Homo-oligomer: A and B are copies of this chain.
C-alpha cells in the first residue's frame, strides 16, 4: 500500500481508538492493533505520537472545513442559505458522528491537548465565526434584529458546541436532527421572517 494510504489507515484507527479508550487510553500498541499493523510502523509514518494525534485532529478539522466552505463559496446562495449550510454542515451525518465528536471533546478535555486544538483549528474557527458574522450583518441590513451580528455568530458557536456535547453525552436523548432544528429555531427567533422550518 502507498505511504499516503497507510497514513490514512492509521489515522482512522486512531479515531476509533480515541472514541473507544480516550486520548490517554490511546496507546501506539492499540492503534497498531486496531489497524492490523505492527507497532513500529506507526513511528515510521508518524515521527512521534503527538504528530499522529495532531494529524488526526487536522484531518477532522479539514473535513469539516471543506463541508461548510463549499456551500459558503457558492454565488447562487444568499446569506440566509449560507448560514443554513453552515448549520447543516455542523450536523452532517459524515461530520457529526459519535466517534468524531469523541475526538473533538478528547482534545477539549485536557490542557495539554487544548493547545494542540488551538494551534490547529484556531484559524478555522475564527474564519467560520468571521464568515457567519459577515453573513448575519448582511441579513441585518434588510431586517430589524434584536442582537448584533457579532453576538449572533458567537451564540451560534456556543449552540454548536453545546448540542454536540449533549449528542455525545446522551445520544439516546439528543439526535443530530433535533439539534439542528434547535439551532434553526433559535436563528428563526433572532432573525424575524427567516430560517422558517418547513415541517
Contacts and interface: CB of A to CB of B under 8 A. Distances in A.
A126 to B, nearest CB: 10
Interface string A87-113: 000000000000000100111111111
Interface residues of A, number: 44
A182 B169 contact: no
A169 B108 contact: yes
Contacts of A182: 151, 154-155, 158
Contact of A166 (B25, B117, B157): B157
Contacts of A72: none
Chain A interface, >50% SS class: helix
Contacts of A110: 21-25, 106, 109
A106 to B, nearest CB: 5
Interface stretch (A57-65, A75-83, A185-193): A185-193
Given A158-B163, A162-B159, A19 B169 contact: no
A22 B109 CA distance: 7
A182 B185 CA distance: 16
Interface string A52-72: 000000000000000000000
B102 A111 contact: yes
A108 B109 contact: yes
A146 interface: yes
Interface string A127-143: 00000000000000000
6 contacts: A105-B109, A106-B109, A109-B110, A117-B169, A146-B189, A161-B166
Given A20-B111, A25-B112, 20 more contacts: A19-B111, A21-B111, A22-B112, A23-B109, A25-B110, A25-B111, A106-B109, A107-B109, A108-B109, A108-B168, A155-B182, A157-B166, A158-B159, A158-B163, A158-B165, A158-B179, A161-B162, A162-B162, A162-B163, A189-B189
